[in-house]
Structure 1
Amino acid sequence: MERYNAAVIGAGYWGPNLARNLRASDAWNLAAVCDLDVERAQRVAESVGGAPVLTDVAAVLADPLIDAVAIATPARTHHALACRALEAGKHVMVEKPLAADRASGSEMVALARERGLVLMTDHTYCYTPAVLRIRDLIAEGALGDILYIDSTRINLGLVQPDVDVLWDLAPHDLAILDFVLPGGLAADSVSAAGGDPLRTGRTCVGYLALPLADGAIAHVQVNWLSPTKIRRMVIGGTRRTLVWDDLNPQQRLSVFDRGVDVGARAGGDPGTRDAQVSYRLGDTWSPALPEQEALANVVAEFAAAIREGRPARTDGDSGLRVLSVLEAASRSLAAHGAPVAVESPAEPALAAASIVGGAA
């Protein structure tokens, strides 16, 4: 199998994890670690057995032997770095979120499409064995039609200096919804509520509500202030309900054959109060899951997308759909929770493609 050469740009929090997994992968050679802080880059390189250390991104992009870059820098830098890399002919993987705003993300997606390069969003949770199995269960109809999704991601976390809790934590949950739902994250609107009880200057506790297809609804709760760490998602369907508890390694997934059945009373209408409600109580089972590091699956998917000439499973469009919901959530928050339309990411991407093409 052909190996590709990749450079990691950014040696802070996430860069060392990328470097370690690229080094361990049969599909990649770790060609360089690049960071403005040479000592930090050196520490990362040494921790994975050695790699060239650079402080200038231009040197990375000028190297014809480097096929791809993995960007692990602050979100505000993603657009400029990714566009430079794409213009240099490099495939790009970007840490979440794809960009600091939807317009920048649209330009990145359009440029990658124009150059015929892979642009992948590192939505790491989507590559955990649990989420991969959830996706399969929904696709095969094991849960039936989705009725609701309730996701909780709370902990006593660091108040970020540049983003609020919605932009910090909710991208994980939104990316998972985009990954597991047939057709992706197709919410037309979002309502957001939040608070800053400690007066930090940014929302520290937040809630999102997104209407989904056929009357279903998704609810996301995120919180930096909780002394208890919870990572749980409940997906209710017409046939079964699934509970994913990411902090329970003995039983991460539980599938309940329990639910509510609605039929019509004699001569009644099932869409009104004439409906007859009954409760179904069945078995509970836990699917067996392999033990795999999610980020190893991420770098494997990045290589496979390049090799097969196809979009990655969490491509730039996936990142753009998440950005579209986040921006709408910010507008809803500013409007005191009023529902705000989620702008379709497709049209701006096509518009940006024509702009980039014209400029070239």
Structure 2
Amino acid sequence: MTAAATPSPAPAHRQQGRKLRIAVVGAGYWGPNLARNLQASPDWDLVAICDLDLARARKLAASLGEIPVVESLDELLDTFDVDAVAIATPARTHYGTVMTALRAGKHVLVEKPLADSRAHGVEMVETAEANGLVLMADHTYCYTPAVLKMQELVQSGSLGDILYVDSTRINLGLVQPDVDVFWDLAPHDLSILDFILPGGLNPSEVSAFGADPLGTGRDCVGHLNFRLANDATAHVHVNWLSPTKIRQMVIGGSQRTLVWDDLNPQQRLSVYDRGVSLDRQPQSIGEKTSTAVSYRLGDTWSPALPEREALSQVVEELATCIRSGRPARTGGASGLRVLSVLEAVTRSLSRSGQASQVEGSGLADAGAERAR
């Protein structure tokens, strides 16, 4: 690994008592959303937009009040005194862009996935930690009121023991030029699971099956399966070719079942006091066949949720972490766990769905990997 330059510590006045200064790198699909929320935030002063396509950058800048525009990250870092950069560029560019910013002593918010490989992600996380910088993955869904409530219900034990997770994220397009449907859509569901499950996302192995019926050169339809703790199971279905759009996750517990329907603003969450129960817990495998099964039919309720834009909470979290020095709730380690699963998915696909081990997301594993 290339040694990272150690930046001079930021003066205390740069982190307390004033707005933090930030630039957005990437003015394509997601950059405008980041720029708009940063511009509206009381924590941030948006000082520049950076994009290779200057016309696109100028159009975004004009919509926000004529923010300065630069063409390259080097020009940005040479011209503007910023505390952080928000990166919304393709995954293949994340490693170089993030490492340049970190080596310049800047905190970083980066769009999902964290990087294009686990090895790059490990180096990014290590560099941020070594230099005392915040590296935060923009796992936006984790800051929505619905997912925050899901985390509360799961981790408080309201659902009981988790028995299964079944997640569906399908729609028509967009077929991406550089990644398959797993790398494009599954990070959303994987990051949500990492956020809400006690202990985070930590499967030992995954099995993935994909299809490319249009001959695009990359999987457009996919199914991902893996085990959770206590012999629970998780399934994620992703699809670019569906004429209908579905964003739904079902989390079945031993006491209650939670259904998240992101496209139903009137009732995004439903909690069902319904399920299947055993009259008594079997003591052996042989007893399972003779244990009586009963069905529980109870009430259904929908938690009240505030309406607020998740990205406003993302940029607030970034500012809070910089000022307090605490890790982000979706920090580099979270991004690395998601990245580790995605790499295992790719290996499984190359082996016709055979189970593939997931490399550990802890940084202790990184040293062992480099030593091999």
For this structure pair, what is the TM-score category when the shorter chain's length is used for normalisation? over 0.9
Gaps of 5+ in 1: 356-360
Is the counterpart of residue 254 in structure 1 residue 257 in structure 2? no
Q: Specify which of 70, 81, 103 is matched with residue 87 of structure 1.
A: 103
Q: Deviations over 1:210-251 (max 9, x none)?
A: 101100011000000100110100000011000000001110
1:45 deviation in Å? 0.9
Change (3 A) 1:89 1:228: same
8 Å CA contact retained: 2:258, 2:270: yes
CA–CA distance in 1 between the matches of 2:161 and 2:283? 26
**Mapping 1:173-192, distance limit 5 Å:** 173-192=189-208
Q: Specify which of 337, 351, 361 is matched with residue 345 of structure 1.
A: 361
Q: Deviations over 1:37-90 (max 9, x none)?
A: 111111111111221111121122235620000001111110011011001000
Is the counterpart of residue 315 in structure 1 residue 315 in structure 2? no
Q: Specify which of 20, 27, 43 is matched with residue 4 of structure 1.
A: 20
Q: Specify which of 129, 138, 144 is matched with residue 122 of structure 1.
A: 138
**Mapping 1:176-325, distance limit 5 Å:** 176-264=192-280, 272-325=288-341
8 Å CA contact retained: 1:45, 1:51: yes
CA–CA distance in 1 between the matches of 2:136 and 2:319? 10
**Mapping 1:326-341, distance limit 5 Å:** 326-341=342-357
Q: Which amino acid in structure 2 is aligned with residue 278 of structure 1?
A: S
8 Å CA contact retained: 1:120, 1:312: yes
DSSP-derived class of the 2:292 partner: strand
Is the counterpart of residue 71 in structure 1 residue 75 in structure 2? no
8 Å CA contact retained: 2:282, 2:288: no
Q: Aligned pairs, how many?
A: 355
CA–CA distance in 2 between the matches of 1:22 and 1:161? 29
2:123 maps to which residue?
A: 107
8 Å CA contact retained: 1:11, 1:41: yes
Q: Which amino acid in structure 2 is aligned with residue 117 of structure 1?
A: L
Runs of 4+ more than 4 Å apart? 265-271, 347-350, 352-355
2:49 maps to which residue?
A: 33
1:111 deviation in Å? 0.2
CA–CA distance in 1 between the matches of 2:121 and 2:191? 15
2:173 maps to which residue?
A: 157
Q: How much identity, in percent, do the aligned residues show?
A: 63
Q: Which amino acid in structure 2 is aligned with residue 55 of structure 1?
A: E
1:275 deviation in Å? 2.0
8 Å CA contact retained: 1:92, 1:118: yes
Change (3 A) 1:318 1:267: closer
1:348 deviation in Å? 6.2
TM-score, normalised with respect to structure 2: 0.92
Q: Which amino acid in structure 1 is aligned with residue 173 of structure 2?
A: G
8 Å CA contact retained: 1:107, 1:353: no
1:351 deviation in Å? 2.2
1:207 deviation in Å? 0.2
Q: CA RMSD in A?
A: 1.9
8 Å CA contact retained: 1:123, 1:172: yes
Change (3 A) 1:124 1:268: closer
